[in-house]
Amino acid sequence: MSVDSAFARVPPFPPEYRACGLLLHVTSLPSPYGIGDLGSSAFSWVDHLHDAGQQWWQALPLGPTGYGNSPYQSLSSFAGNALLISPEKLISDGNYSREIVSLISPRILSTTTGSSHSKTFLEKAWTNFNAGARKDLRSEFGRFCADQANWLEDYALFSALKAKYGGAYYLDWPATLVQRRPDAIAEVRRELATQIDQVRFAQFLLFRQADQLKEHAHAKGVGLIGDLPFFVSPDSSDVWANPEFFLLDEQCRPRFVAGVPPDYFSAQGQLWGNPVFNWDALRSTGYRWCIERLRALLAHVDVIRLDHFRGFAAAWHVPAASPTAQSGHWVPGPGADFFQVVQSEFGTLPFIAEDLGLITPEVHALRDQFQIPGTRVLQFAFDGHTDNPYLPDNFVSNTVVYTGTHDNATTREWYEELPDYQRQNLCRYLSRAPGQIAEAAPELIRLAWSSKAALAIAPLQDLLNLGAEARMNVPGRADRTGAGAAPKKCFRLLPFNGCRS
């Protein structure tokens, strides 16, 4: 398989294009350190994709996770999650000794103390580098800091301040820091200089490993699909460093927060809590911050899944004090003007639109105006209506079809809970007698692969025919340890059983 046949063919997909791939988040790869990273398992996974004739690997966002460990609530739109740094790859690259790597106990990152162990390891790595280890990387590190300064300086300081204040929400910091008073910022930069350098260095290590993985994937003819959340986390360096781009009050608190009205996933809607954009301010800059956000991700992937694509047409704004998302209202997004500017900047639009949920004709028109492929999910297809857009009969070729997404139940769990009438609809569609379908996951995979969609993707959970134990996420719900307890995890970060082999 040629490299050109895989990642070089980016959307919009021509009618003759046909390709397939798998969805697997990096953290779900097997690892002795509790969660997957960018090391040998990631390289082996690419090799497996190549050997199986798969041309694409799709992952979830890879930023530093905040609330609920959700990759969609990242502390930065530009930074990577330092927990994804592969200790073993640092050894194989000749960067650090096993003595440093031994500071991370096997599987320790799966515990609540994992971040502190990773921090100790990275502190030691920085100390050795600063003392003269790997002098050949010093100029490369300097170039990295200079090239990424537009976001790295703010993120490094933000991370150091988060540590200084025990992980507190940045709005609970001293007011002079919340408001970024120049004298206060200069003082903490001096005070936290070492910690800031450690954050810079961790990002340098992570980006080096990401570059190596992308190079390996391209050599194997495998393209990488990244994921860009539409909104940013309220507790992020994005909002802290750029308050003018969000609708905030005088205390820098969100006036409105994002969500969606009641839908398939939630009867009360989903109240995400993200601040909403000030599109007038962004438009006045030529959407420069948005373009740099896209550019940062495209440095690591070939195609970007635009999460919550309908937000570009209109977003659901909920008053910040509202207990549910039901009281929100639709507010227009940047629309075609945004994509015209992006297209003139990049020359192409290597995007996939996540156009699920309550979609209006305006959203479809925006998607189709720029020939951005939409998303179709087979689990939504069997309600009995012949005009259901998720039925393969109704696909256009410039489409990406999934058996299910990270937000859905695995197909095995879905089928086990499927109402009888939808089971019958599925059987009729597949020309099977009732009761002849014992396992739905392989059936939906075959259906996706044989459809006219240009690109077919299945989560690895479906390829392995795993059940409820392997579900990645339940939208709009955080797991809790008990009544009144704080949220634990919104996303499953650990390897599910089928990935351990």
The residue written with tokens 């299945």 in the block is 458
Active site residue 307: yes
Coil, strand or helix at 21: strand
For residue 437, which amino acid is it?
Answer: I
229 Ramachandran zone, left/alpha/beta (phi>0; psi -120 to 50):
beta
Gyration radius of the chain over CA positions: 23
In order of 259, 323, 476, the CA distances from 326 in angstroms are: 9, 9, 13
DSSP 443: H
Token pair, residue 471, equals 């579900």
- In angstroms, the CA 490 to CA 61 distance is 14
Active site residue 4: no
336-346 helix and 361-369 helix, angle to the nearest 10 degrees: 20
For residue 348, which amino acid is it?
Answer: T
- In angstroms, the CA 317 to CA 299 distance is 31
Active site residue 337: no
| Residue of 37, 154, 227, 307 with catalytic role | 307
| Residue of 93, 345, 407, 479 with catalytic role | 407
Give the DSSP letter string of 309-367.
Answer: GGGGTEEEEEETT-SSGGG-EEEE--THHHHHHHHHHHSS--EEE---SS--HHHHHHH
> Is the torsion defined by CA of 383, 389, 395, 400 positive or negative?
negative
Token pair, residue 426, equals 């599925």
| Residue of 235, 354, 355, 443 with catalytic role | 354
Q: In what order do the strands lie in the sheet with 19-23?
A: 351-353, 303-306, 223-228, 56-58, 19-23, 455-459, 399-402, 374-377
> Burial letters for 363-385: b for 16+ Cβ neighbours within 10 Å, e otherwise?
bbebbeebebbbbbbbbbbbeee
> Burial letters for 426-444: b for 16+ Cβ neighbours within 10 Å, e otherwise?
bbebeeeeeeeeeebbbbb
Give the DSSP letter string of 51-87.
Answer: HTT--EEE----SPB-GGG-TTSBS-SS---GGG--H
The secondary structure element, H or E, covering residue 305 is: strand 303-306
The residue written with tokens 């003392």 in the block is 131
Active-site annotation, residues = 307, 354, 407
